[in-house]
Structure 1
Amino acid sequence: GKRDEELILPINSSLSVTLHQDQLKTTTTATISKDFTEDRIWLNGQEEDVGQPRLQACLREIRRLARKRRSTGDGDSLPLSLSYKVHIASENNFPTAAGLASSAAGYACLAYTLARVYGVEDDLSEVARRGSGSACRSLYGGFVEWQMGEQADGKDSVARQVAPESHWPQLRILVLVVSAEKKQMGSTVGMQTSVETSSLLKFRAESVVPSRLREMISCIQARDFPGFAELTMKDSNQFHATCLDTFPPISYLNDVSRRIVQLVHRFNACHGQTKVAYTFDAGPNAVIFTLEDTVAEFVAAVRHSFPPETNGDKFLKGLQVTPVLPSDTLKAALAMEPSPGGVQYIIATQVGPGPQILDDPHAHLLGPDGLPKPAA
């Protein structure tokens, strides 16, 4: 939830894990030219409305910072006029607007790319935040806190890295794609309604999150997986409880999501310890945290509970996982009637770095004419 919709200032601080771009990424190309007659943007090959308020807020802020730099005398080397129009192309290699943080990745990538084009070297937290609040966290790799800040102008509502991507090399993330469809209730509208109607959300922001965040940072720094996992699940559950406490209620989870929750708890009970954790954003897709030595067995449990209907060889994407069969003990502990096709596919990944510059010209999404390259 937000305390200021225009500046995108949150009602509480938060923490995220940046995923590795080898598996999930947004790629963005931007170019400015005296020959362009208007700003234009393409997302996943389709031209979008460049007048979207959040996109315009990012552009305005980047151009303001560029003008400020030039006016102070530091920007004499800027090669291109600030009056030139910009063309932007962006692509996600994972489902967009499906509750998998595509807006966070997209606006972080956009802010970073525009800063390169316009020669801006300031902290980009504020620029990315204007597009999508969580995008300010995605400007850093590893484990990142978005500090809510206290100032009315939002200058102190910025992201900071809690630990780098190399801090916890054994940590693995599995994205269980239940639905790649665009969610029916967008995050922004949903959060606005929750802030207006949910008394649980107010209690959560004021009385639960501050201490829980400190505890979470301690667990990360100590690489305490059971502590990290339990907090992650409790916080996910409470977030979705606030969605149900919203009026009219919002339900991002579906029956498959709830079966995944059951699966995780039964898997942990079978082992007598917390080896796997779930979290759900504003959508039905599950993000699973576990350690490297548990990945293969949990993937086997998911495959057993949600057998793929077709293309079983494409069920698992991303990092290589050695296939294993679930033990009879585990199958008995799961005690779930299989739900074929409930999980469409799994993306196996790990903690990753912040924005990267692609030197390969073939990776650029815009051609010399400033228009999207034709699909290969």
Structure 2
Amino acid sequence: MAEKWVLMVTAQTPTNIAVIKYWGKRDENLILPINDSISVTLDPQHLCTTTSVAVSPAFTHDRMWLNGKEISLSGGRYQNCLRELRARASDVEDEEKGIKIAKKDWEKLHVHIASYNNFPTAAGLASSAAGFACLVFSLAKLMNVKEDHSKLSAIARQGSGSACRSLYGGFVKWIMGKEENGSDSIAVQLADEKHWGDLVIIIAVVSSRQKETSSTSGMRETVETSMLIEHRAKEVVPRRIIQMEEAIKDHDFPSFSRLACSDSNQFHAVCLDTSPPIFYMNDTSHRIISCIEKWNRFEGTPQGRPLKEWFPACLS
């Protein structure tokens, strides 16, 4: 192969906000959750990751830049995704550039990755979800991986659990699965982005700083120390998943927002039940919740049921 050619692909992937949350793993390496979850994928014009991936015989090793700063690809999560994609790569030919890459060549070719988030990274806005989803999607296009979105979601999951949900628009369910190898732990689309066109999500960024406790370490500590997490995963979440699917199907906003609010409150309660306790909300977060609760009561119907209810998109 010639030494000077470069083949590149660029993709954009939006972040997603969980309305029934994923918190806790039963397998740390494969990132297999202890419960199903449901999310809303946001508009990529507002919150998204843009990733460009390139391959060239001139590249001597895999490299990645995040928001202009080079980061290490030695971590297991990046390597897991790269290994899975290279194993599924196909022949690639670009007649215009005179490039031919055989399936077997992908094992020895190296890639360069440049990724940019148009929103704060590691601040509670699911930047890793959008990032790994975009990484997997763009590399799959570059390597001509012939897998559907559900199969790609299982690969993205190994980078960041919530990333599997960002491969779809609209409303997405991450099925926890039962198989030890994670083959059935995939994302499926419940409804596309046109299903509920008048649903608007407002995100209040109360702090752009990185979380003091990462999601990875926080989940591990919760599973190890919280007495509430098992009850949540086995008893509460399965019922809420069914109810949330119905609310989405029926465009039932009162039920949708009530379930999202209740699940968010319980998630934060589980974090507080962790030892040491995990704090993902600050005083500003609590003031916003108080204001919205007062607004709901003010806007309530004569029967006392709110016309508008708080939908906690992100309060980190």
* TM-score tier (shorter): 0.7 to 0.9
Distance in 2 between residues matched to 1:163 and 1:6, nearest whole Å: 30
Per the alignment, in what secondary structure is the counterpart of residue 277 of structure 1?
A: coil
Q: Is the 8 A contact 1:261 1:278 kept in 2?
A: no
Q: Residue in 1 aligned with 2:72?
A: 49
Residue of structure 1 in register with 2:138 after alignment: 113
TM-superposition CA deviations, 1:73-111 (whole Å, max 9, x none): xx4759323111000000000000000000000000000
CA drift of 1:56 comes to: 1.1
The TM-score, its normalising length taken from structure 2, stands at 0.85
User: What corresponds to 1:11 in structure 2?
Assistant: 34
Shift of 1:261: 1.0
CA contact (8 A) 1:264 1:278 kept: no
* Structure 2 equivalent of residue 239 of structure 1: 267
Instruction: Give the equivalent residue in structure 2 for 1:308.
Output: none
Aligned to 2:202: 174
Query: Residue 84 of structure 1: which of 98, 109, 112 is its match?
Result: 109
- Residue 125 of structure 1: how far off its partner (Å): 1.1
Kindly indicate whether residue 309 of structure 2 is the aligned counterpart of residue 276 of structure 1. Answer: yes
Shift in Å at residue 279 of structure 1? 2.1
Alpha-carbon distance in structure 1 between the residues aligned to 2:79 and 2:234: 32
State whether residues 230 and 274 of structure 1, in contact with CA within 8 Å, keep that contact through their aligned partners in structure 2.
Answer: no
Check 1:247–1:280 CA distance in 2 against 1; reply closer, same or farther (3 A cut): farther
Deviation, 1:35, is 0.3
Residue 189 of structure 2, aligned match among 142, 155, 161: 161
Is the 2:122–2:211 Cα contact (8 Å) retained in structure 1?
A: yes
Which secondary structure state, in structure 2, belongs to the residue aligned with residue 91 of structure 1? strand
* 1:279 counterpart letter in structure 2: P
Q: How many angstroms apart in 1 are the aligned matches of 2:313 and 2:169?
A: 20
The CA distance in 2 between the partners of 1:36 and 1:102, in whole Å, is: 27
Closer/same/farther in 2, CA of residues 52 and 76 from structure 1, 3 Å limit: closer
1:26-66 per-residue CA deviation (whole Å, 9 max, x = no partner) reads 00000111000010000000000111221111111111122
In the alignment, which of 175, 191, 200 is matched to residue 228 of structure 2? 200
Q: Could you list the per-position Cα deviations for residues 303-331 of structure 1 after superposition, in whole angstroms to 9, with x for gaps in the alignment?
A: xxxxxxxxxxxxxxxxxxxxxxxxxxxxx
CA distance in 2, matches of 1:58, 1:103: 13
Q: Which AA in structure 1 matches 2:128? A: S
Looking at structure 2, the residues matched to 211 and 103 of structure 1 have their Cα atoms a distance apart, in angstroms, of: 28
Identity %: 53
1:93 aligns with 2:97: no
Secondary structure (helix, strand or coil) at the match of 1:177 reads coil
- Which among 138, 144, 147 is matched to residue 175 of structure 2? 147
Task: Kindly provide the amino acid, as one letter, of the partner of residue 34 in structure 1.
Answer: P
Q: Once the 2 structures are TM-superposed, how far is the Cα of residue 126 of structure 1 from its aligned partner?
A: 1.4
In structure 1, the residue matched to 2:211 is 183
Structure 2 gaps of 5+ residues are 1-23, 95-99, 301-305
Task: For 1:202 and 1:251, locate their aligned partners in 2 and report how far apart those are by CA, in whole Å.
Answer: 20
TM normalised by structure 1 equals 0.72
Query: Residue type of the partner of 1:211?
Result: R
Distance of 1:215 and 1:256 partners within structure 2:
30
Q: Tell me which residue corresponds to 1:335.
A: none
- Is contact 1:137–1:145 with CA below 8 Å preserved after alignment? yes
3-state secondary structure, aligned to 1:32: strand
Instruction: Classify the secondary structure of the residue corresponding to 2:70.
Output: strand
Q: 43, 52, 57: which one pairs with 1:29?
A: 52
Whole-angstrom distance in 2 between the partners of 1:76 and 1:22: 30
Cα displacement (A) at 1:230: 0.4
Does the aligned pair in 1 maintain the 2:36–2:173 contact within 8 Å?
yes
Aligned length: 276
**Residue type matched to 2:59 in 1?**
F
Asked whether the equivalents of residues 25 and 31 of structure 2 are also in contact (C-alpha less than 8 Å), the reply is yes
Equivalent-residue separation in structure 1 for 2:81 and 2:136 (angstroms): 7
The answer for unaligned runs of 5 or more in structure 1 is 286-376
Indicate if the aligned counterparts of 1:145 and 1:159 stay in contact, CA closer than 8 A.
yes
1:223-262, aligned counterparts within 5 Å?
Answer: 223-262=251-290
